[in-house]
Structure 1
């Protein structure tokens, strides 16, 4: 039986890098050698005459109102991979062609969608639902399909080439559609060759001597004279375990017994892959069709069933089984590499202590917010620190390397900074706070804080801070701004 001819659907995303960012006109710039170039534009910028490859200074001069952002190729590559995995609903063989093209081997899959044209329209609709505009074409090989997709006109139906007609269809296309190296394109234009058909009509020997075998190899792939294997993306591993008990579960003991089977199975799969989970989801489906989910996060990678069961113990108190739970699934939503450790008798003391601390923080995190303070390079009190994960590596600002007493010359700061400053009133012998007079014994100041030139608005009013001690021993941190007094914190 003769095999079906190979069919490749190409989906070109011309605005992939700019979609989902600030509204246009938008320029994404990068550095190539000594020059700053426009790497990508959005449709609004393209309509104003801007294009990728032009100098950034020229582009800004042409459209001064354009938003300018740095080019991030990693973001675009990650998004292209995510879209490729999303389109595996149409075919299991989906590949990417950097930086903006998806290739789907749809051989034998078109009947499931109602034909090749219908399949192409459905794929375009799936991308549009994700917020991406695309152009499509189908041919007998990836190179031809990609070239036709890059030459497609928005709004027109996808072009579907019959098998064996690739050379004829590609002939009127410009050579840029094959994405040949820039130097090769320049030399071909110097010979007066600008279209694919003009190169195909030339003798192969002189072309090989002048341009090497790469040009002819690319042409043979596009016309179907040679074949290349598509390298589809492998789907990410799924770490999950499911259980459908013979009878619906309605008691807590039944749930615990089910988890005692599911969690070891999940952890065994994680161990086989050298992974530990960071986020877990427990999904419970009731007999009435409703669904309840329980989420769980850990500070470090974990694959210990007993530890996970302990973290889930309190969350299970909120489960309402109704008439019974007929299906359970535990799934690792986020994983991280986790190296195997030695047995307990040979474990390193520091590693064992860190693991014990991680588990303690995991248990505490199920009951209350747990975080640690990250110092920030700001002298405004409310911006001097920010809350980060208790497992984050805390680094001090670079200024701390040059000052033994801190980044701002060792100036004292209160141990308790009020979340909301409280107003105080000045009195002849002290101050009035919360309606109570407080005579002062000692005061130091003022310490003036001006607006930070690197981030704050220039019109932000300055503040004068005073350290005062009341006669009852209370030590306060007072602020005077725009002729008003506030209490910002208390010293120990």
Structure 2
């Protein structure tokens, strides 16, 4: 028996239970505390007490627990309900090998599978199509959805995109379609003011279109490769966003406005060859080119997170500048005042 449990041999239940604490009988905390105050701390201490006095002082519940532990009273156990299982199969009278024939079979199986999902108010997140061949081999494809769904019109295009990955060999004589991973789905009812309901409906339809796009892209490159940004609680520029899988996250809303404009493109700080002082250089060298200053806005001082030892911020406090060069570039430069590293100028991004 797993989990550290053990079964007492016949006739040895007393010896197995006697050294265990009273709490092992699953009594309420108040009863356990009362028994402990009387010096009754082990199950063996209770087994030697008169049953009538125990029942009179602590109720029939204590005596029942003792009898159940000793096996003299039944303790019905309700088995765990099996998880939801959604799958359909089709045995073909003659082997098939064309993609059109496979899709025709899917068109007959998919509505049945979706109806079963809808009946249980669940939607598929991952589906598996098994194509069993006449040579006893099986071809398997899987698709994932950005949102759980039991809508056949959203699932079918994803299956059709991956049908060409099936090698029919000498023919397919059985197909099985299963919802491997499902989640609860709830019907959305729009009530209230007509304009408000219309706005909500448009937003939901927009989300559905985006989910369908994510699902189609995921069928090609994998859902894990499609990500979206969410705001994160940090004043460090490169930590103000976190990357999440688009299929398992909601679109971010109400992004906090930064205190100063942030560049559209941001990268790890790159060294800039310029005089080693905090004044904005009139000329500098970056990425193998010489640049001349036309305009500069700043500084914006940002301090590192003192409670973290971030290797990227060992240069200490930074003064950020929005620098416009005579060549037309709008760059994000900062001067690191030096912490455990040498001071100097760096470029971390580009605007536009």
TM-score normalized by the length of structure 2: 0.79
- Where does residue 200 of structure 1 map in the other structure? 47
Asked if 2 retains the 8 angstrom alpha-carbon contact of 1:166 and 1:222, the reply is no
Equivalent of 2:319 in 450, 464, 468: 464
Indicate whether 1:273 and 2:143 are aligned. no
Gap change, CA 1:213 and 1:312, over 3 Å in 2: same
Aligned-partner Cα distance in 2 for 1:291–1:484: 62
Indicate whether 1:436 and 2:285 are aligned. no
Asked if 1 retains the 8 angstrom alpha-carbon contact of 2:125 and 2:183, the reply is yes
Gap change, CA 1:233 and 1:253, over 3 Å in 2: same
For residue 415 of structure 1, report the CA deviation from its aligned partner. Answer: 1.4
Equivalent of 1:417 in 252, 262, 266: 266
Can you list the C-alpha shifts for 1:325-383, whole angstroms capped at 9, x where unaligned?
3433222222222234679xx99633444433432343344346543321112233322
Gap regions ≥5 residues in structure 2: 276-280, 337-341
Aligned-partner Cα distance in 2 for 1:262–1:223: 53
Q: Aligned with 2:88: secondary structure? A: strand
Give me the CA root mean square deviation.
Answer: 3.2
Indicate whether 1:379 and 2:235 are aligned. yes
Gap change, CA 1:381 and 1:190, over 3 Å in 2: closer
For residue 226 of structure 1, report the CA deviation from its aligned partner. Answer: 2.1
- Where does residue 136 of structure 1 map in the other structure? 6
Q: Aligned with 1:222: secondary structure? A: helix
Larger RCO, structure (CA 8 Å, separation 6 or more): 2
For residue 241 of structure 1, report the CA deviation from its aligned partner. Answer: 1.8
Choose 1 or 2 for highest CA Rg.
Answer: 2
Indicate whether 1:473 and 2:328 are aligned. yes
For residue 12 of structure 1, report the CA deviation from its aligned partner. Answer: 6.2
For residue 413 of structure 1, report the CA deviation from its aligned partner. Answer: 0.8
Asked if 2 retains the 8 angstrom alpha-carbon contact of 1:170 and 1:196, the reply is no
Asked if 2 retains the 8 angstrom alpha-carbon contact of 1:270 and 1:276, the reply is yes
Asked if 2 retains the 8 angstrom alpha-carbon contact of 1:166 and 1:224, the reply is no
- Where does residue 208 of structure 2 map in the other structure? 355
Gap change, CA 1:204 and 1:342, over 3 Å in 2: closer
Give matches, 1:63-462, under 5 Å: 134-137=4-7, 159-161=8-10, 165=11, 168-169=14-15, 172-176=18-22, 177-340=24-187, 349-350=201-202, 351-367=204-220, 369-390=225-246, 391-394=249-252, 400=256, 406-407=257-258, 410-418=259-267, 420-426=268-274, 429-457=282-310, 460-462=314-316
User: 4+ residue runs of structure 1 moved beyond 6 angstroms?
Assistant: none
- Where does residue 278 of structure 2 map in the other structure? none
Aligned-partner Cα distance in 2 for 1:474–1:411: 18
Can you list the C-alpha shifts for 1:51-77, whole angstroms capped at 9, x where unaligned?
xxxxxxxxxxxxxxxxxxxxxxxxxxx
TM-score normalized by the length of structure 1: 0.58
Q: Aligned with 2:93: secondary structure? A: coil
Asked if 1 retains the 8 angstrom alpha-carbon contact of 2:228 and 2:251, the reply is no
Paired positions, count: 326
Asked if 2 retains the 8 angstrom alpha-carbon contact of 1:283 and 1:328, the reply is yes
